[in-house]
Structure 1
């Protein structure tokens, strides 16, 4: 057998990429273990029916992290298609997003969308506002939002909350409730909301 006839599988040497290599096997295994730690501590997240439908008999969703990741990816792509091709906020010039993991073990995305026509400050309130769903009309959604999307209680109400440092919330809560959206010099938008009457 000449050198040109050697099997490719027998050439070179095996290299195991460390967990610092984003997207590698060790990286994904480490992130999975992190996620499972959060699940054990905070409880199991809700299951998407799309995931349940793809499991074979006897499998649980935590057995198939590949399915979870793929369905999340499909949902992200669908949402980006709605934002861009669907022109929900108007025609887009370009966009970018990044996927991050929450402390609860769930992943989420941060999205930047550049519009051909900017949404001016006066029209922001027609596009987005912060409101809790009616607990009588949609109790399940109300509980999800209340559990996963509201910061606090911190500040003087709970000085031992994880966000607290030197007696102050590092996330700058509580923020003032406003009747109109304001954009600060730091680029952070304080959005109109009706949370106080529903949270208290």
Structure 2
């Protein structure tokens, strides 16, 4: 049976997105603006107002635009300013081996053949996970939360979440929430298999130098991690989670890679929540946020937008007779990568970002920060 995402479906997404972008492009007099202080600096420093207002703007109302992602980042910073740093940073990845997906496939089909099933199941799992944490308060009462959905190059969706709790997690409570060790197969065989299938990184390094995470001969995810007997905090980054060695009581396990059996220890375990991993049987990376320095990076990472590659050239600033037209719509479309899974997600109108409570944007500005709008009458 052919994939649900045929060229017709892809053209449907592109056609509707292009209609929206064309409308924005033809109604620039309603969007074209600049802050007064920038207008004043242009007049004083350059003496040339030719380029002022010569800008095609892609407004923040367009989902996925740079201005849209910037607003969500500012919302996250507003949470931090009002409630302090979040307690948990969670990455939830779709598992194509879920029974919910496998049971809906026709004979001979693979999850890659039915993006509609993958998308719908992940959306339901994501809603269930948020309800599990927020309504059932498995980590305590939740003050606020936000998440963004992204897509990997092979198409599987994943969500980055930030969770703020009323009762802060203390350093001596981290081990009750987050684990970075291989569970004992003799105690819980099913849980051991879940962790081994979903929460083991690589292995990479000398075991697999061609791993995608390897950059300049080193793992970009900093694996293998150091073995420590107790969780250590206060290093202005992620904590050093407890990863006991085999001599200290840590467990060893064997995985298969390229038809070879490789023995791994706790150095290769991605931090996880035993409760979430056992409940959802997927890759759910749970990290404890213990430093304010991480917040800006995490907030920007959660709202970093789609992958793209683009470059451009423009004349030197000394040439004042050349009019430089900056087209944000063209920049947004150039080099944009959208997978089939993301196309189906957008066709079904599932939200890419959600947060609670809502952040109200007030029309307040700094001195000379008010916006000057350009119309057909004054843009010339």
TM-score, normalised to structure 1's length? Answer: 0.63
Aligned residues: 164
Q: Output one character per residue of 1:35-56: Cα deviation in whole Å (capped at 9) or x when no partner.
A: xxxxxxxxx94142x345556x
Q: Hey, what's the Cα distance between the residues in 2 that align with 1:160 and 1:68?
A: 29
Aligned to 1:188, which of 238, 242, 251?
238
Q: Output one character per residue of 1:165-200: Cα deviation in whole Å (capped at 9) or x when no partner.
A: 333222212211222222354421222235763125
SS in 1 for 2:143: strand
Q: Is the 8 A contact 1:99 1:107 kept in 2?
A: yes
- The alpha-carbon distance between structure 1 residues 67 and 190, as it changes in their structure 2 partners (threshold 3 A), is same
Does residue 166 of structure 1 match 2:216?
A: yes
Q: Is the 8 A contact 1:132 1:145 kept in 2?
A: yes
Does residue 150 of structure 1 match 2:200?
A: yes
Q: Is the 8 A contact 2:179 2:242 kept in 1?
A: yes
Aligned to 1:46, which of 87, 97, 122?
97
- The alpha-carbon distance between structure 1 residues 82 and 45, as it changes in their structure 2 partners (threshold 3 A), is closer
Q: Hey, what's the Cα distance between the residues in 1 that align with 2:239 and 2:150?
A: 21
Shift, 1:68, TM fit: 2.4
Q: After superposing the two structures, state which structure 1 stretch, 132-141 or 177-186, moved more.
A: 132-141
Q: Is the 8 A contact 1:130 1:194 kept in 2?
A: no
The equivalent of 1:111 in structure 2 is 161
Q: Is the 8 A contact 1:61 1:68 kept in 2?
A: no
- The alpha-carbon distance between structure 1 residues 188 and 103, as it changes in their structure 2 partners (threshold 3 A), is farther
SS in 1 for 2:144: strand
Q: Output one character per residue of 1:77-100: Cα deviation in whole Å (capped at 9) or x when no partner.
A: 111111111111111110012223
Q: Is the 8 A contact 2:96 2:118 kept in 1?
A: no
Q: Hey, what's the Cα distance between the residues in 1 that align with 2:63 and 2:182?
A: 36
Q: Hey, what's the Cα distance between the residues in 2 that align with 1:140 and 1:126?
A: 20
Does residue 65 of structure 1 match 2:111?
A: no
Unaligned runs of 5+ in 2: 1-13, 22-61, 65-94, 253-263, 266-380
SS in 2 for 1:189: coil
Aligned to 2:251, which of 156, 181, 197?
197
Q: Output one character per residue of 1:19-50: Cα deviation in whole Å (capped at 9) or x when no partner.
A: x9979xxxxxxxxxxxxxxxxxxxx94142x3
Q: Hey, what's the Cα distance between the residues in 1 that align with 2:237 and 2:160?
A: 15
- The alpha-carbon distance between structure 1 residues 102 and 182, as it changes in their structure 2 partners (threshold 3 A), is farther
If asked which structure has higher relative contact order (CA below 8 Å, sep 6+), I would say 2
SS in 2 for 1:95: strand
> What RMSD in Å do the two structures reach over aligned CA positions?
3.5
Q: Output one character per residue of 1:91-118: Cα deviation in whole Å (capped at 9) or x when no partner.
A: 1110012223346643332221101111
Unaligned runs of 5+ in 1: 1-13, 24-43
The equivalent of 1:17 in structure 2 is 17
Q: Is the 8 A contact 2:226 2:243 kept in 1?
A: no
Q: Is the 8 A contact 2:145 2:162 kept in 1?
A: yes
SS in 1 for 2:251: helix
TM-score, normalised to structure 2's length? Answer: 0.36
